Structure formats: structure tokens, C-alpha cells
Amino acid sequence: MEQSSHSGSGLEPWNDPDAKPYVRIDGVTKKFGEFVAVDNVSLDVYRNELFCLLGGSGCGKSTLLRILAGFESASMGKIYIDDVDMEGIPPYERPVNMMFQSYALFPHMNVEKNVAFGLKQDGLNKAEIAKRVADMLALVQLEPFARRKPHQLSGGQRQRVALARSLVKKPKLLLLDEPLGALDKKLREETQFELVNIQEQTGITFIVVTHDQEEAMTLSSRIGVMNNGEIVQKGTPSQIYEYPASRFVADFIGSVNIFQGRVVEDEADYVRITSSEAGCPLYIDHGVSTVAGAQVWVAIRPEKMTVSKEKPASEDNCTHGTIDEIAYMGDLSVYHVLLDSKKRVRVTIPNLTRTGSGRFTWDEKVYLSWQGSSGVVLTS
Amino acid sequence: MSRQGYVELGKQMTAATSPITRLMWRFPPYRWSIVLMKRLGVTGRTAVIAMPYLWLLLFFLVPFVFVLKISLAEALIARPPYSPLIEWSEETYLTIRLNIANFLFLIEDDLYWKAYLNSIKIAGISTLFCLFIGYPMAYAMAKATPSTRNVLLMLVILPFWTSFLLRVYAWIGILKNNGLINNILMGLGVIDEPIVMMQTDFAVYVGIVYSYLPFMILPLYANLERLDNSLLEAASDLGCPPTKAFLSITLPLSLSGIIAGCLLVFIPAVGEFVIPALLGGPDTLMIGRVLWDEFFSNRDWPVASAVAIAVLLLLVVPMMLFQKFQAKEAEGQT
């Protein structure tokens, strides 16, 4: 999976063996009674990174965030922020701020006082506080609402107050728990880019928890996919999407067609796999560390398949089926193709013209084909 | 209502409603009253809204008017012991005699002022004690696990299951010279002479604080239990240590509970009669006792009524403040 295009550059410190991690999570485990919420997680996050912890509900991502903030203590393992061991340091003394999922704005204080609250705790003088609050409100475009109470604001405005309040102390690390979860779809998309811009302007290291894979892809420099308290894969959005490490990750991020098969030929630069599910020999142009005869899975993304009425020239990576379902999504159409092996495959085709000529219809017999570089072999 | 409308109404009542309503519809009185209410334009909704008003009118406003009437009369040795307000003299003239001498007497005689001020003092100090004892208790209840919370709530409510009078009498047994406390202390050799606690202001404070503590705890608990814990986490996250977070987040947000609890203790404590009568000494002057003496010892009903009206008016002020605060609070939460 060492597929990064420019490894070792300053933009990607995780590929630089000399780079020093800013936040180090070292073998952290958290147990609630017998239940293991976080299971031996180790993770390095670098300065100015926007790292996303992605996973379904109950996967331990929020618990990990709460351990970083200091609201929960780890049963085992250590956390270092900027080389300082965080063990035993209460939340109010950590150089960490958190943006809560519920925003947790103080209902009895107006926007200005909410944002100023953290600075007041540091005992800054009035003029300094006023200036920093004003700057922060300008950054999140909330100046006209400075005197309003939280209940007089819309959901999007409250979200920005919460962000401003957590950013104003210029923490070493900002934790965001589902920061866009309570916003509607349109606002969420706008705010995603705003959040990235603010992160770049302030240069603060962000760790974001989300269950929304689209949000994670848009926001982050790197993603850590969590399942059952473990980080099952970490990497850049494209690494996670194009080179999933397991069937779980492939299935969790985007949609995918997975064919079960057996390795026939295992060479350094290609593998050949037979699969009764696919109904054709599968050829993949990257080597796999496994032996001939081993059971593997081949994952192919829906957009990487081509649909045609005529039979393509090659025998490899070419199967046959009947169109079963069609969903028109506007920008693209989703086809469900029932293969001759009764396996159902999802294919997406961009709608390049408005007229719909050349599109396929229900019960049409079609060939599906893809490149040797389209699929990825998974061993677990 | 036309015959047609009557038939329609009957169909509606029998078709859509429950078996009980259908059965009741067969009884002519029920049927007639429904039809009468329809004709008068009274719907079920207005009837429901009217009920509490009717209740207040019957059991609060009408008695109040009686008391007001007596307070404006003159005391007589007769039955009833006061002069009539409205008289027909010689069957021709209607005379209405309003006597404000009772109210003037309240101002002239400093007994009433002193009793009133003393009542406010005793009620005020008791309220503060209730607050300082009740707040930590309510806080602990709100922070307890749900199962412990129910047990604690039960313990707070439990004393209400025995008579209030009985519980005050029990304090006599505890506080008197050869009572529980003195016997224990003398038995231990801590004191040689019994400490005089009965018939002092101290006993009155103990009685009031003990009796009214649940009225402080319950509104405070209801308020603190609602407090979102993530607000305290947010405060802590922003660098605020726990004690400071309590002062700047928990306390201001529980203000409405504090005010509700204080008024629930203060208002009845001002008019309290039983506790000062049983536990207090002869010099524990409280307006409730003065009222009692005026009615039953002096048999001066008009002055007693005037005292009652004065107490009511003086207590209406804090109640109105409370109402105003509540309205503001409700406005703030929407």
C-alpha cells in the first residue's frame, strides 16, 4: 500500500521518518467494566494535520476523543501532546480544546461571553480578551450576532459559536466531535470547506470524529478508520478509498463489489484469480503477499467498471449479466446488474449527455469489464 | 339546534367515541346537557380551561371576599361577632357602612408591625438555612446514579406520609429539657444542666427548617437534574476548574430553582402558626400566632380579618415577583 505520490515531502510528514509527531497516542486501551471501548490504539498525529477518526456508532471514536480531552482516563497506554505526558492532567489544564457534538454553549451567556469564557479563565486583561473575541467572531462571520443568546441563533450559527469558542484559546490540539452532524446537507457541505479554511488559517492541529465518510474525505489530511475500538486502517483519503486494507474498510468507505476467489498465479507484478462469483478469470496488476491457492477477495468500485452491449476483446476481467435495477441520480446513474452467477453488482455510469442516448434499460443483457489496475486484492 | 343538527350530533357521539360515552349518551340528562352546552357555544375545550378558574373562584375568591367584608365591619358581641356591612334601615334606605378603623388600628398598634417584621425575619433566616442545607442535598441527588436517586427522592418525600402536626410534636420530645438530646448529652457527661431549647427561637428555626426542607429540595433537584453535564465539561475544557465552574455555570443556571424553592419555603413560613405555637416561647412573635389569638382569644373577627388581608397583600408582592421571573425564564427557554 506504499502508493503515496510524493513521499517524504513536508506536506506529508507521516511519510517522513524524521518528522516528530505532535500528538502521540501510544497503546491506549479503555475498558468500561468488561467492555473494551478502545482497544490498544496507537496513532501519531502531526502538527497542522486535520485527522479524521471515522467509524460507525459505538466503534470507540468518541471515547478516544474524550480520553484526549481528559474527560476519561485511559485504562492502559499513554498520550503525549507536544512531548508532554498527559497522564493525570485534568481537562482544565490541558492545551486541548474540544468542540462538542451538542455544542454545549452556555445558555445564560451571549455569543461574546461564550467565546470570551475560555480567555477569562486564563486571566487575560479585558482589552486583550475583547480583541481576540472580536477577531474570532470576524473569522467565523458572527459579528452581527455578538449580543445574542444561543437560543436566538440558528443551528449553523450555534455551530460557528462553538467553533469560535474552542478556537479562541489557540489550543495545541482541537478536538471536534461530529462538528457538522447537526446541520442539514446543504449547510454541511458549505461548512466543510469553511472548516478546512479555518484550520489552514489558524494552523491548529485538528482531530475530528465523524461517522460520515464523505465528511471525512472532504476534510481530512488523513483518516483513521475505526471498528470495535481498533484503528483498522489509517491513510490519506485516496489511500483509504483506492487501497482498502480489508473488506470492512472497502465496504465502509463508499460502495464496492467484492468477488470471492482463489489465487491461481501469484507473480511479483500481477496475480490471476479464479472466481465463480465473478464468472471470469480476474487479472490484477499488483502483486499480493500470499500463496497460490489461497482464498482472497477482489474489490472493484462501481465507477471503475465499464458497461457495454458488445463483448470486449479480452477474456480477463469481463463478465456478463442482466440489468436488474436502474437509479437515476442526476449526475450519474446506478445500475444493478445480475451476473450469470446470480451475484448482484453495482455499476455507476456518469450521465455525459442530457438526452439519455446510449443508456441501458431494464432486462438488457450487458458485458461488464474493467482494467487490471481497477481492482484491489484483499486477504482479510 | 335544528332536529337535523341534533340527529347529526347523536351520530357523531355514537360513532366515533368510546363505549362508555356511547352508553352515557343514552341517558337523557347527559344528552340534554351536551346539547345545551353546544347551544351556548361551550365546547369541551373551553369547559376544560374553565375548570381551574371555576375552582379558584369558588375556593379562593369567594372566601377572600367574605374575609374582606368582615375586615371592614365592626366587632360586636353577637353571633356572628361583627356588624353587617349592608343594612336596610326602615325598609327604605340601603346603607353600606365601611369601617377602615381595623386597618388603621393595625398601623397604630406596633404589635402587628413587630409580629409581621419578626415573621419575615424568622421566615427569611429559615429560608436561607433551607437553601444552604437543601442545595447540597439536591445536588447530590441529581448527581447520583438513577437507582440511588430514586431511593434518595423517596427519603425526601417519606416524611409527608405522616402528619405534619405529629412531626412537630416529635421535635418537642427531642428538644425538651428531659428530651432526647439533653438526656444523651447528660448521659455522656458533656453537660450537667439541660440546655434550654424548647420555647426559644432556636426551636422555631429547627421546626421550620425541618418541615419546609423538602419544598426547597424538590424544585432544586428538578432543576439540577436537567442541567446538561456537557456544559460543565465544556467549562472544564476551556480551563475552568470545578469550583469555579460551579459558580459560573451551575449556580446561574439553577437560579430559577433557587428562587422557586425559596418562595415555596418563605411564603408559607411567614404565615406559619403551628410551629411557633408548639415549639416557640411566649415572646416568639409571629403574625400567624397573632392572627390565631385575634380570632380565638380576643374574638375580634374584624381585626383578625384585617390582619389576614394585610398579610395576604404583603405576600402577594414576592409572589408577583416570582411570577414575573418565571415568565421571563419561560421566554428565555423558547
> Looking at residue B97, what is its pLDDT?
76
Paired residues of B94 in beta bridges: B88
Q: Using 50, 70 and 90 to split pLDDT, how confident is the model at A10?
A: low
Report the alpha-carbon angle B316-B321-B326, nearest 5: 125
Residue range A99-126, pLDDT digits in tens: 999 999 999 999 999 999 999 999 899 9
- The CA-based angle A234-A240-A242, given to 5 degrees, is 150
- Chain B: give the shortest CA distance to residue A297, in Å: 44
pLDDT of residue B251: 93
Interface touch B238/A117, C-beta < 8 Å: yes
User: Given this model, what pLDDT does residue A255 score?
Assistant: 87
Contact residues, chain A to chain B, C-beta under 8 Å: 69-71, 90-93, 96-98, 100, 102, 104-108, 117-118, 121-122, 149, 151, 165-166, 169
Rounded to an integer, the average pLDDT of A240-263 is 89
pLDDT band per the 50, 70, 90 thresholds, residue A329 = confident
What residue ranges define each of the domains in chain B, with the CATH number in brackets? Answer: 3-70 (no CATH), 103-332 (1.10.3720.10)
End-to-end alpha carbon distance in chain B: 43
Counting residues of chain B whose pLDDT is more than 90, the rounded percentage is 37
Q: What is the pLDDT of residue B1?
A: 57
All 3 cell numbers of residue B204? Answer: 422555631
Take residue A319 and report the three cell numbers written for it: 463478465
How far, CA to CA in Å, does B220 sit from each of A233, B216, B251?
A: 49, 6, 11
Q: What does the pLDDT look like over A200-241, one tens digit per residue?
A: 888 899 999 999 888 888 888 999 999 999 999 999 999 999
Query: Which residues in chain B are closer than 8 Å to A182, comparing Cβ atoms?
Result: none
pLDDT at A233: 92
Q: Name the closest residue on chain B to residue A96, using Cα atoms.
A: B237
**Do the beta carbons of residue A295 and residue A336 sit within 8 Å?**
no
Asked if B237 lies within 8 A of A69 by C-beta distance, the reply is yes
Q: Residue B240 is nearest to which of A92, A102, A165, comparing CB atoms?
A: A92
Question: Which pLDDT score is estimated for B218?
Answer: 94
Task: Please give the Cα distance from A168 to A203 (Å, whole number).
Answer: 13
DSSP per residue, B147-183: HHHHHHHHHHHGGGGS-HHHHHHHHHHHHSTTSHHHH
Q: Residue A78: what are its φ and ψ, rounded to 5°?
A: -130, 155
Nearest to B179 by CA among B156, B201, B199, B154: B199
Residue A179 in grid coordinates: 462538528
Task: Report the share of chain A in percent with pLDDT over 90.
Answer: 38
What is residue B11's predicted lDDT score, i.e. its pLDDT? 75
Query: Which DSSP state fits B77?
Result: S
Beta-carbon separation of A90 and B253 below 8 A = no
Is residue A266 within 8 A of residue A289, CB to CB? The reply is no
- Element of type H or E holding B89: strand B86-89
| ipTM summary value | 0.81
Identify the band that residue A1 occupies on the pLDDT scale cut at 50, 70 and 90: very low
What rounded mean pLDDT belongs to chain A?
87
d(C-alpha B244, C-alpha B287), whole Å? 41
Tell whether the model's pLDDT for residue A6 goes beyond 50: no
Residue A282's pLDDT is 86
Render pLDDT for B141-155 as a digit per residue (tens, 0 to 9): 999 999 999 999 999
Residue position matching grid coordinates 433537584? B221
Using one digit for the tens of pLDDT, what is the confidence trace for A152-207? 999 889 999 999 999 999 899 999 998 888 788 888 888 888 888 888 888 899 99
Mean pLDDT value of segment B70-77: 84
Nearest to B249 by CA among B233, B272, B261, B225: B233
Task: Find the Cα–Cα–Cα–Cα dihedral B248, B252, B257, B261, rounded to 10°.
Answer: 90
Asked whether residue A73 carries a pLDDT value surpassing 60, the answer given is: yes
Residue B25's nearest CA partner among B44, B5, B9, B47 is B9
When scoring A92, A109, A165, A178 by the number of chain B Cβ atoms within 10 A, the one with the most, hence best to mutate, is A92
Q: Which of A316, A336, A314 is nearest to A325 (CA)?
A: A336
Average the pLDDT over B326-333 and give the result: 66
Interface of B with A (CB under 8 A): 228, 230-231, 233-241, 244, 248-249, 252-253, 332-334
β-bridge mates for residue B311, sequence order: none
φ and ψ at residue B87, rounded to 5 degrees: -135, 150
Tell me the pLDDT band of B283, cut-offs 50, 70 and 90. confident
With the C-alpha atoms ordered B6, B11, B17, B19, is the resulting torsion angle positive or negative? positive
3-state secondary structure chain A: CCCCCCCCCCCCHHHCCCCCCCEEEEEEEEEECCEEEEEEEEEEECCCCEEEEECCCCCCHHHHHHHHHCCCCCCEEEEEECCEECCCCCHHHCCEEEECCCCCCCCCCCHHHHHHHHHHHCCCCHHHHHHHHHHHHHHCCCHHHCCCCHHHCCHHHHHHHHHHHHHCCCCCEEEEECCCCCCCHHHHHHHHHHHHHHHHHHCCEEEEEECCHHHHHHHCCEEEEEECCEEEEEECHHHHHHCCCCHHHHHHCCCCEEEEEEEEEECCCCEEEECCCCCCCEEECCCCCCCCCCEEEEEECHHHCEEECCCCCCCCCEEEEEEEEEEECCCEEEEEEEECCCCEEEEEEECCCCCCCCCCCCCCEEEEECCCCCCEEECC
R_g of chain B computed on alpha carbons: 28
The predicted structure's pLDDT at residue B94 = 77
Of A108, A149, A169, the CB nearest to B253: A108
Residue A314's pLDDT band, with cuts at 50, 70 and 90, is confident
Q: What is the pLDDT of residues B5-57, one digit of tens each?
A: 777 777 777 676 677 777 777 788 888 887 887 777 777 778 788 888 999 89
Q: pLDDT of B211-258, one tens digit each?
A: 999 999 999 999 999 999 999 999 999 999 999 999 999 999 999 899
The residues, ordered by sequence, that sit 6+ positions from A362 with a Cβ below 8 Å of its Cβ are A323, A324, A325, A326
CA distance A235 to chain B (A): 29
Residue of A nearest to B253 (CA): A108
Question: What pLDDT shows up at residue B212?
Answer: 94
Mean pLDDT computed over every residue of chain B: 86
pLDDT of residue A359: 78
Neighbours of B268 (CB within 10 A): 16
Chain A: give the shortest CA distance to residue B188, in Å: 47
Nearest residue, CB atoms, A122 vs list B230, B239, B248: B239
Q: What is the largest CA-CA distance in chain B?
A: 92
- Look up residue B195 and give its DSSP letter: P
First to last CA, chain A: 15
Report chain A residues whose CB lies below 8 A from the CB of B331.
none
pTM passes above 0.80: no
CA distance A39 to chain B (A): 24
- Alpha-carbon distance B332 to nearest alpha carbon in chain A (angstroms): 8
| Cβ contact A209:A53 at 8 Å | yes
Residue of A nearest to B232 (CA): A104
Helix B101-108 with B110-143: angle, nearest 10 deg: 80
Of B233, B248, B333, the CB nearest to A104: B233
Residues B20 and B240: their CA atoms lie apart, in Å, by 61
**How many CB contacts within 8 angstroms connect chain A with chain B?**
66
CA of B243: which chain A residue's CA is closest?
A92
Residues of chain A contacting residue B253, judged by C-beta atoms under 8 Å apart: 107-108
What pLDDT is stored for residue A3 in this prediction?
41
> CA A152 to CA B191: how far, in whole Å?
63
Q: How far is B238 from chain A (nearest CA, A)?
A: 5
Q: What are the C-alpha distances in Å from B224 to residues A135, B216, B317?
A: 35, 12, 27
**Of B238, B244, B252, which is closest to A118 when you measure between CB atoms?**
B238
Cis (ω within 30 of 0) for the bond into B63? no
- Length of chain B, in residues: 334
A106:B237 CB<8 A: no
